[in-house]
């Protein structure tokens, strides 16, 4: 094997993985409730509720993935660029 072919082994913190799953469930539940509200409205109000639910679902998915990434522990320091992280949101 040549240079740079070392294997870096990581591990997961199961409590953070479970937190990620919990956030996904909560976000989904809230989106379902908002869609129920949207179904009871008409016109622009309905569109606003649907838009709100899509934003909430997107943030819920992003948060779930970001927290799951945090659950992966590597034996070396990991840093995030705040600008890129917020841009990805």
Checking if the pLDDT of 2 tops 80, the result is no
| Torsion region of 2: left, alpha or beta (phi above 0 gives left; psi -120 to 50 gives alpha) | beta
In eight-state DSSP terms, residue 28 is H
Q: Tell me the pTM.
A: 0.78
Model pLDDT for residues 48-58, shown as the tens digit of each residue: 999 999 999 99
Query: How open is the CA angle 10-16-18, to the nearest 5 degrees?
Result: 115
> Mean pLDDT over all residues of the chain?
91
The residues facing 73 across adjacent strands are: 11
Checking if the pLDDT of 19 tops 80, the result is yes
pLDDT of residue 81: 92
Assigned token pair, 88: 């990805």
Q: What share of the chain is helix, strand, coil (3-state, %, to 5)?
A: 70, 5, 25
């Amino acid at each position: 094997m040549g240079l740079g072919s070392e294997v870096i082994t990581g591990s997961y913190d199961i409590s953070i993985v479970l937190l990620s799953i919990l956030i996904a469930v909560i976000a989904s539940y809230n989106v379902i409730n908002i869609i129920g509200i949207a179904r009871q409205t008409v016109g622009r109000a309905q569109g606003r509720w649907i838009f709100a639910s899509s934003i909430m679902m997107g943030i819920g998915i992003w948060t779930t993935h970001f927290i799951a990434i945090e659950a992966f522990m590597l034996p070396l320091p990991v840093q995030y660029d705040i600008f890129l992280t917020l841009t990805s949101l």
